C-alpha cells in the first residue's frame, strides 16, 4: 500500500508523521520503504541518522525522488509491501503525481484557521487526482494539537471539513509533545521512546490507516 503524507502548509508535522508511521510499520514486521519526495530531505536525513546509530532498531529503507514520482512510487510498491511518501508542504509536481500513485493521502493540519484555509485547494487537488485514481482515500489529520482538551477545535475542524466533499477527518489526533521532536533528532520513532501517550497515538493512527489490529 502507498500512503502519502502531504499538504499545502509547511511545518504541520508531515515528515514527523511519515517517519513515525514507517517506524511503526517496520516494528509490525512490514517491509517498508520511506520515499522522500521533498527536496528539504527531512525524512531522508532522519533515516540516515537512524541507520548510522548502533542499537537494536530495525534499519529502514529510504529513497528520494523528485519531479514526477508516479512511476518510482508504483515501482517501489511492487518491491516493498509498504511505501510511505513524504511529499512536503506545497502544491508541487511531487505532491500531484504522488496523489495519483497513492492509496491513501494523509494531510496533517493544526486545527487552526490558517491551516484549515489551505484545505480548499487540497480538496481541489484530491478531486483532480481522483479523476485518474478513483480509489484514493483522503484524510485530514489533526496534528500538533495542544494537550488541553480540544473538543471545540475538533468540532470546528469537522464542521469546516464538512464543506469539502473529498476529505474526511481521521479519528486519531497527534498532539504537540516534546518527545516527537526529540525522537526526530535521535533518528527514532516515538514507539521507540519512553512515552506511552505518544506511542499510543502512533499505534492508533497506524491501526486506523492500515486496519491492522493487535
Ligand atoms: N506532534 C508534534 N509534537 C511536537 N513537535 C512536533 C510534532 N510534530 C512535528 N513537530 C515539530 O515541528 C517541526 C515541524 O515538523 P515537521 O518537520 O514534521 O513538519 P513538516 O510538515 O514536515 O514541515 P515542512 O512543511 O517544512 O516539510 C519540527 O521541529 C518537528 O520536530
Ligand atoms: Mg517535512
pLDDT digits (tens, 9 = 90+) for 172-207: 999 999 999 999 999 999 999 999 999 999 999 999
Residue 120 in contact with residue 26, Cβ under 8 Å?
A: no
At residue 82, what are phi and psi to the nearest 5 degrees?
-130, 130
CA distances from 193 to 13, 85, 205, 211 (A): 18, 23, 17, 23
Whole-structure pTM value = 0.96
Q: Quick one: CA dihedral 148, 205, 77, 187, positive or negative?
A: positive
Query: Is the CB of 174 inside a 6 Å radius of any atom of ligand 1?
Result: yes
- Which one, of 170, 148, 139, 174, lies nearest residue 17 by Cα? 174
CA of 37 to the centre of ligand 1 (A): 16
Query: Is the CB of 177 inside a 6 Å radius of any atom of ligand 1?
Result: yes
Of 87, 140, 180, the one to substitute when testing ligand 1's pocket (max ligand atoms within 8 A of C-beta) is 180
CA of 76 to the centre of ligand 1 (A): 26
Residue range 15-26: mean pLDDT, rounded: 97
Query: Is the CB of 189 inside a 6 Å radius of any atom of ligand 1?
Result: no
C-alpha cell of 68? 514526477
DSSP string for residues in 4-37? EE--SSTTSSHHHHHHHHHHHHHHTT--EEEEE-
Type and span of the H or E element at 61: strand 61-64
Type and span of the H or E element at 99: helix 93-101
For 127-151, what is each residue's pLDDT tens digit? 999 999 999 999 999 999 887 766 6
Which tops the pLDDT comparison, 214 or 95?
Answer: 95
Rounded to whole angstroms, the Cα distance separating 121 from 78 reads 31
Residue range 63-81: mean pLDDT, rounded: 98
Half-sphere exposure of 8 (CA within 13 A, CB side): 18
For 103-132, what is each residue's pLDDT tens digit? 999 999 987 777 788 889 999 999 999 999
State the pLDDT confidence band at 214, using cuts at 50, 70 and 90. Answer: low
**Mean pLDDT over the full length of the chain:** 92
Residue range 155-160: mean pLDDT, rounded: 80
Pairing mode of beta strands 61-64, 82-86 = unpaired
Task: Match 499505534 to its residue by C-alpha cell.
Answer: 203
Query: Is the CB of 136 inside a 6 Å radius of any atom of ligand 1?
Result: no
Q: Which domain holds residue 28?
A: 2-210
pLDDT score recorded for residue 162: 83
pLDDT score recorded for residue 65: 98
Which tops the pLDDT comparison, 152 or 39?
Answer: 39
Query: Is the CB of 6 inside a 6 Å radius of any atom of ligand 1?
Result: no
CATH assignment at residue 155: 3.40.50.300
- Which one, of 208, 202, 197, 207, lies nearest residue 16 by Cα? 202
Q: Give how many domains the chain has, as a whole number.
A: 1
Residue range 156-163: mean pLDDT, rounded: 81
SS3 192: helix
Amino acid at each position: 500500500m502507498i500512503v502519502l503524507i502531504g499538504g499545502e502548509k509547511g511545518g504541520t508535522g508531515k515528515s514527523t508523521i511519515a517517519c513515525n508511521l514507517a517506524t511503526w510499520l517496520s516494528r509490525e514486521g512490514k517491509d517498508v520503504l520511506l520515499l522522500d519526495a521533498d527536496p528539504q530531505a527531512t525524512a531522508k536525513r532522519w533515516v540516515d541518522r537512524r541507520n548510522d546509530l548502533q542499537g537494536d532498531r530495525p534499519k529502514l529503507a529510504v529513497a528520494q525522488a523528485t519531479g514526477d514520482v508516479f512511476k518510482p512510487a508504483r515501482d517501489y510498491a511492487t518491491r516493498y509491501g509498504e511505501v510511505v511518501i513524504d511529499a512536503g508542504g506545497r502544491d508541487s509536481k511531487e505532491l500531484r503525481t504522488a496523489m495519483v500513485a497513492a492509496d491513501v493521502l494523509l494531510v496533517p493540519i493544526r486545527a487552526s484557521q490558517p491551516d484549515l484555509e489551505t484545505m480548499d485547494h487540497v480538496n481541489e487537488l484530491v478531486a483532480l487526482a481522483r479523476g485518474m485514481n478513483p480509489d484514493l482515500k483522503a484524510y485530514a489529520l489533526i496534528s500538533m494539537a495542544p494537550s488541553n482538551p480540544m473538543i471545540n477545535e475538533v468540532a470546528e475542524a469537522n464542521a469546516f471539513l464538512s464543506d469539502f466533499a473529498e476529505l474526511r477527518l481521521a479519528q486519531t489526533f497527534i498532539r504537540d509533545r516534546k518527545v516527537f521532536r526529540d525522537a526526530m533528532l535521535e533518528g527514532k520513532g516515538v514507539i521507540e521512546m519512553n512515552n506511552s501517550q505518544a506511542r499510543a497515538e502512533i499505534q492508533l493512527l497506524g491501526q486506523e490507516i492500515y486496519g491492522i489490529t493487535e
